[in-house]
Amino acid sequence: MSLEESDTVSTSVSSAAAFLSQSGGSDRRSSESSLPGSVGEADAALLDAYSRAVTGAVEQVSPSVVNIEVHQSRGRTRTGERREGSGGGSGFVFTPDGLILTNSHVVHDARRIGVKLPDGRRMSASAIGDDPASDLAVIRVDEPGLTAAILGDSQQLRVGQVVIAIGAPYGFQSTVTAGVVSALGRSLRSYSGRLIDDVVQTDASLNPGNSGGPLVDSAGRVVGVNTATILPAQGICFAIGINTAKFVASRLLRDGRIRRSYIGVSAQTVPVHRRVVRFYDLPKETGVIVLSSESGSPAQRAGLREGDVIVALEGQPVAGVDDLHRLLTDVRVGVSCSLLVLRHTEKLELLVVPEEAK
């Protein structure tokens, strides 16, 4: 091989090596861009955004979250002295002049109520009113200039939306859990036996000490009041929608209680025979059977008898006891109402005047 040919081969090898080097580097850069590291960076950015949303919401609402301590009467000793028990939960300030929203079961029948503010100050609180049927209560501390939480709109919630539960359980300030809205429009049985409608289900974990604390969205707006968890299950927790809480709180502030009507019957939901349903063209296949009525009650005065099946009130179908509860609102107190009942196979229309429930 001549020197000229050798130089040509050497030059070609060098050029090829340079090309391969460039090509390999380009391939490496291309392949590196598709490695999991880039996906990890995207995930990290997403997690950072999630973390910023949660921390921002917590920083905004935490100054409004309080710990509530209650002392309740638990009967008397053999010597006649009062036996007291203690309990507590969480709550949140919703007006700067010291109004606090919490659960009814946290403060119901409390003889003394104490509140611990986020800055560590302790003070006594007074009960404005509580409503066991919705498990909501309003208490007040005599302290102006408090930081009030911003109330949102629970009707705007969507399944899958990020929510944060904040509480002060057992004196630990600003305990935070985060999750998503699992379901909307749930119904939850209250301590009084009535159903609470439009309840928010979330997987943000709760414990009894979180009761009464706020459920907030990523913007730091309160969208619910944490109320319950199903203990045998994991990730099934409930909050009362803030729209319900706004209504209840306004009535408690105005009247000290929620006025509801009653007719004075002991009843249960039963199926109605299909032939009877078809014959009278009833909209529902179930009704409410009267097991007994209180002496002197509106039901007794209206002529309701044991065994009668209530199927409608003021033209609204009554498919069960919960339907009857929903229809017996404060607007029906003292107002004559049409009650449609089945007595054996006969359909009757009675007039009942509901009274205010005590």
Q: Which residues are catalytic?
A: 105, 135, 211
Nearest to 239 by CA among 192, 179, 171, 193: 179
On whether the CB atoms of residues 340 and 349 are closer than 8 A, the answer is yes
CA–CA gap between residue 102 and residue 91 (Å, rounded): 5
For residue 221, the one-letter residue type is R
Q: Residue 293 CB: number of other CB atoms within 10 A?
A: 22
CA–CA separation, 114 vs 156, rounded Å?
A: 34
Report CA torsion sign: 202, 100, 91, 190. Answer: negative
CA separation for the pair 328, 342 (Å, rounded): 19
Assigned token pair, 275 = 């032939």
User: Which phi and psi (to 5°) does residue 73 adopt?
Assistant: -80, 130
**DSSP letter (8 states) at residue 356:** E
Amino acid letter, residue 85: G
Cα angle 72, 170, 204 (rounded to 5 degrees) comes to 115
Token pair, residue 142, equals 């005599």
Taken in order 271, 277, 278, 279, the sign of the CA dihedral is positive
- 3 state DSSP class of 297: coil
